[in-house]
């Protein structure tokens, strides 16, 4: 994805849940289904940033999700429609899907960096950490009634606490009017315990008191897409080689 200066990006977090019926299909049918899903996804790689994460062993209501970034909302529509008609997609539902926008163009794809972009501090390359912590976020209406200076001080305290946890990177996107939440937040880190400590410390900040909703909270485990799909039908017992 080519970066376009000063142009806002759309961000989508579609969460997929597998119908257990798929697991009862033949090996051949499952393999074909996964291959189709992978082929469709790969064909959109040049149009958007696409980061897959597994939720297996983490949550019970979804199996995996994508972090998608594109300049075109239509790209998500087309990708979603095509994925749904792959052999695997016909057995997937989406228990959650969050739509948001950046307020300026901030994301850049790791595979599309150009020389001149190095050192560009305004751009974020997501997906380089092992874990992402994603949640939709809504502030209470009382927050918006506070004096602007009070809010600014509260946010500065918030940011200062965040800076103490160097292993955690924050990504903020905006959903006002586009979806049910006000923000979708995505924190990246290789150390879940650091994020745990950060969130625990933030509870005592002034801004935290004005939180209306910050769940569900998803701890995504970063994988290549092929790995995420292979986790869906990971053999129960390793087959022994026939001698």
Q: CA-CA distance, 134 to 167, in Å (whole number)?
A: 16
Shorter beta-carbon distance to its own copies: residue 157 or 233: 233
In whole angstroms, how close is the CB of 107 to its own copies at the nearest point? 15
- Between 119 and 238, whose beta carbon lies closer to its own copies? 238
| Spatial distance between the Cα atoms of 10 and 151, rounded to a whole number of angstroms | 27
Kindly tell me which of 100 and 127 has the beta carbon lying closer to its own copies: 100
Token pair for 209: 């008191």
The two structure tokens encoding residue 117: 């972009």
Q: Is-contact 199 219, C-beta < 8 A?
A: no
CB 174 to its own copies: min, Å: 6
Closer by beta carbon to its own copies, 200 or else 242: 200
**CA of 12: how far to CAs of 15, 84, 132, 147, 177, in Å?**
10, 16, 14, 32, 15
All residues at 6 or more sequence positions from 197 whose CB lies less than 8 Å from its CB, including other chains: 165
Instruction: Assess whether the previous peptide bond of 101 is cis (omega < 30° from 0).
Output: no
The residue (of 85 and 117) whose beta carbon lies closer to its own copies is 85
Least distance between its own copies and beta carbon 9 (Å): 10
Shortest approach of its own copies to residue 123 CB, angstroms? 19
Q: How far is the CB of 209 from its own copies (least distance, A)?
A: 5
Q: From CA 76, how far away is CA 69, in angstroms rounded?
A: 9
- Residue identified by tokens 């997501």 is 126
Unique residue bearing structure tokens 């292979």: 230
Least distance (Å) between residue 114 CB and its own copies: 25
Closer Cβ to its own copies, 105 or 113, answer by number: 105
């Amino acid at each position: 994805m080519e970066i376009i200066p000063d142009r806002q990006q759309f961000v989508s977090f579609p969460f997929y849940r597998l119908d257990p019926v798929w697991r009862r299909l033949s090996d051949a049918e499952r393999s074909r289904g996964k291959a189709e899903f992978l082929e469709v996804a790969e064909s959109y790689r040049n149009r958007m940033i696409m980061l897959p994460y597994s939720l297996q062993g983490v949550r019970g209501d979804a199996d995996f999700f994508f972090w998608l970034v594109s300049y075109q909302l239509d790209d998500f529509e087309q990708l979603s429609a095509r994925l749904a008609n792959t052999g695997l997609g016909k057995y997937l539902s989406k228990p959650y899907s969050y739509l948001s926008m950046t307020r300026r163009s901030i994301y850049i794809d790791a595979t599309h960096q150009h020389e001149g972009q190095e050192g560009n501090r305004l751009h974020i390359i997501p997906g380089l950490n092992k874990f992402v912590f994603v949640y939709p976020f809504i502030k209470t209406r009382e927050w918006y009634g506070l004096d602007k200076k009070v809010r600014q001080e509260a946010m500065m305290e918030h940011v200062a606490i965040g800076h103490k946890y160097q292993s955690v990177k924050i990504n903020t996107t905006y959903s006002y009017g586009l979806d049910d939440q006000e923000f979708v937040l995505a924190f990246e880190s290789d150390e879940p315990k650091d994020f745990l400590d950060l969130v625990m410390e933030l509870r005592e900040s002034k801004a935290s008191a004005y939180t209306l909703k910050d769940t569900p909270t998803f701890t995504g485990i970063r994988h290549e897409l092929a790995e995420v799909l292979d986790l869906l039908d990971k053999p129960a017992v390793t087959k022994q080689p026939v001698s």
